[in-house]
Amino acid sequence: MQRRLLIALVAGVAVLLALGSGATASSSKARTSKDAYIDFRMPSNNVFCAYISSTSPRYTYLRCDIMSGLKPRPSNKGCVEGSRGVSADINVYGRATYPCSSDTVYNTRARKLAYGTTWRHGGFVCTSQMSGLRCTNKSAHGFFLSRQRSYRF
């Protein structure tokens, strides 16, 4: 739940920064913020991903949502809010997870990651193929998503 709320928080901060708060000495800190929200999607419009990084609180992760659902579908056991079965996420280091999700990174205006191309940012690498999307982190862990099957490694 905390990560999902932070997606909205990062987006809200970006809007507030765009609106501005006047030219003051304290506003220079906001202009140099390292907060980021970068999204992309597969050409099939079945997989949507977002790279999310914040400096306060400090976190960086990549989340991908698959509209056709994870196959096989993981258990909802332990989900307090939302459900498990449409998202995979990964931090810069460590294993991928299937989080409990009550929101989405779905965005049809996100940049298309053409088949046969690779996206790299912040320690993550995602490769788009007609067979599916494969994303990895700095510790070589990650996930694969497709209509037919999904898995973590």
Q: Chain-wide mean pLDDT for the chain?
A: 84
C-alpha 60/C-alpha 110 separation (Å) is: 19
CA torsion 99-13-45-98 (nearest 10°) is -10
Predicted structure pTM score? 0.78
Please state the rounded mean pLDDT for residues 25-36.
55
In this predicted structure, what is the pLDDT of residue 23?
32
In this predicted structure, what is the pLDDT of residue 56?
86
- Most distant CA pair in the chain: distance in Å? 54
Find all residues with CB under 8 Å of 103, minimum gap 6, and list them.
Answer: 4, 7, 8, 82
Structure tokens at 24: 């003051």
C-alpha 120/C-alpha 142 separation (Å) is: 14
User: Running DSSP on this structure, what letter comes out for residue 97?
Assistant: B
Task: Identify the band that residue 25 occupies on the pLDDT scale cut at 50, 70 and 90.
Answer: very low
Percentage with pLDDT > 90 across the chain: 75
What is the span of the domain harbouring residue 14? Answer: 2-152
User: Running DSSP on this structure, what letter comes out for residue 91?
Assistant: E
Q: How many domains does the chain have?
A: 1
C-alpha 29/C-alpha 99 separation (Å) is: 33
Selection from 5, 56, 6 nearest residue 30 by Cα: 56
Distance of CA 57 to the CA centre of its chain: 17
